[in-house]
Amino acid sequence: MADFFCEVRPEGTVQVVQVRGEVDMAVSDQLWAVLEPLLIPGAAVGLDCSGVSFFDSTGLRVAVRAAGHAKQSDAAFALIAPSGPVTRVLDLSGVTGVFTVHADAAAAAAALAGGSG
């Protein structure tokens, strides 16, 4: 089983989903199951990818799906501190512009709480 950890913690009015380890086909459904119920109208959600050591196309699919679902639900969604592996996949796939990215959870909380994420 892949090394994977995911937890939700509040940062002000933002729900931060902190992910560590490998985000791949084995855990992508699990990550979506955590994200989906948080993406409700008016919600602010940040996906903290600072601890992600591996990120494949299924992880990308979850992130893009979350961004789309947030937009449809009138929720705010952002990536927080994407690690090198995450940044590489975003760059190679050409979807970097789909996401608002913040350097850390505090910056994301400040921006998302203000409705700009």
Domain count, the chain: 1
Q: Is residue 60 part of a domain?
A: yes
Nearest in space to 108 (alpha carbons), one of 58, 100, 99: 100
| Structural domain span for residue 47 | 14-102
| Tens-binned pLDDT, residue by residue, of the chain (117 aa) | 458 999 999 998 899 999 999 999 999 999 999 999 999 999 999 999 999 999 999 999 999 999 999 999 999 999 999 999 999 999 999 998 999 999 998 998 888 776 555
Which DSSP symbol is given to 97?
G
Q: Is residue 8 part of a domain?
A: no
Q: Is residue 112 part of a domain?
A: no
**What are the beta bridge partners of residue 80?**
48, 102
Q: Which residues contact 51 (CB under 8 A, 6 or more apart)?
A: 5, 18, 19, 20, 21, 83
